[in-house]
Amino acid sequence: MSRSFGSPSRYIQRCGEIARLGEHLALLGKKPLFLIDGFLFHTLSTKIAAGLGEDVEARFEKFGGECSNQEIARVTVLVAEHGADVVVGVGGGKTLDTAKMAAHQNHARMMAVPTIASTDAPTSAVVVVYSPDGVLEMAHNLPRNPDLVLVDPELIVAAPVRFLVAGIGDALSTWFEARANIDAGTDNYISGGFPATQAARAIARHCHWVVMEQALKAKTAAEAGVVTTAVEDIIEANTLLSGLGFENCGVSAAHGIHDALTVVHDVHGMLHGEKVAFGVICLLVLENRPKAEIDEAIAFCQSLGLPTTLAGLQITEDVSAKVDQIAEAAVKGKITHATRATVGVREIRAAILTADALGRAAS
């Protein structure tokens, strides 16, 4: 009969909002440390600084490129040295995760300002840590979500469209993995883990509806460099709906296989959501879902350019040995078991190879 729900304190999405960042920051602190993605550091640090009040003592730092223990330790020290009362992460998911962890370790408040809509990291209290060369090592569930998530759609569409599409791949997993957890009776990630609320289930379902309805329209608009209602809806689905859905319902084998894929060097050039999209097809196969549902997911991914085969993930040599390696790594991860299906190396290997065969057949 128990249940729990977690979320960021505020979520604001509006074109031009990056210029109003100072107004929002004033409610959180006067001594911020900004951690900004390296590709955007010079442009955004200048723009943000121009909008801050004279009484704000800001420090700007460039993100090192990987959310590793080493980078987290470095930024944590910088936050302490500055005496920051709020940490503002500006960039992609790894930048924001590093900022979240550094804020937590310094008892500072946290603002997430995503510049791409490629993952649901901005809204969650989860921090995923990788090795310096990109292999997933661990995940932390922090006691608090960000205080504010500030999203400027104009920044999002200025980024390569591949990031938005990858976010759609990540959001596609939200309902399928929520359903897997509900069917298996596993707990979410709030306060040590509870069953999902009705609100969380509804959010996860609606996330799926938005993604299926708006994704192609949003991709077309983003390719034209414009913000439409479909783009706004997909940004919200990728960032907020997916974030609330996964954290409050749980993830499953789609993310478990994603995590396992990181042990294979071939895929290190692939984005998080691209790997998750292939993991979704594997999860549907693993759970023996209706073929019509699997076919729909494959067709949807292919219509957007998301990978549906091992070759699409750049795994083209020593395939059998690498699939064995991925399956073994996936079974070691707890989240892979959050499903009603039997999970073992043999079952995961079969799901991966079947998903690959179905993807190739549909191409």
Which residues have a Cβ under 8 Å from the Cβ of 259 and sit 6 or more positions away? 136, 329, 330, 333, 335
> How large is the greatest C-alpha to C-alpha distance in the chain, in angstroms?
62
Active site residue 255: yes
pLDDT at 21 over 90: yes
Percentage of the chain lying above the pLDDT 90 cut: 98
d(CA 228, CA 222): 8
Q: Give the burial string for 104-114 (b: 16+ CB within 10 Å, else e).
A: bbbebbbbbbb
- The predicted pLDDT at position 150 comes to 98
Q: Which of 37, 97, 147, 170 is catalytic?
A: 170
What is the helix (H) or strand (E) element at residue 358, kind and residue range? helix 345-362
Q: What is the pLDDT of residues 98-130, one digit of tens each?
A: 999 999 999 999 999 999 999 999 999 999 999
User: Among 33, 53, 7, 1, which Cα is nearest to 199's?
Assistant: 7
Residue-averaged pLDDT of the chain: 97
Query: Residue 214 corresponds to which tokens in the numbers above?
Result: 């708006």
Q: Which of 82, 208, 255, 337 is catalytic?
A: 255
- The predicted pLDDT at position 130 comes to 94
Cβ atoms of 148 and 24 closer than 8 Å = yes
- The predicted pLDDT at position 165 comes to 98
Q: What is the pLDDT of residues 266-281, one digit of tens each?
A: 999 999 999 999 999 9
Active site residue 170: yes
Q: What is the pLDDT of residues 40-75, one digit of tens each?
A: 999 999 999 999 988 999 999 999 999 999 999 999
- The predicted pLDDT at position 53 comes to 87
Q: Which of 208, 272, 337, 356 is catalytic?
A: 272
Among left, alpha and beta (phi > 0; psi -120 to 50; other), residue 249 is alpha
Q: What is the pLDDT of residues 176-214, one digit of tens each?
A: 999 999 999 999 999 999 999 999 999 999 999 999 999
d(CA 138, CA 245): 21
Q: What is the pLDDT of residues 301-345, one digit of tens each?
A: 999 999 999 999 999 999 999 999 999 999 999 999 999 999 999
Position 162, amino acid:
R
Domains of the chain: 10-157 (3.40.50.1970), 169-362 (1.20.1090.10)
Q: Which of 258, 259, 337, 356 is catalytic?
A: 258
Active site residue 107: no
pLDDT at 1 over 90: no
Quick check: helix, strand or coil at residue 161? helix
Active site residue 268: no
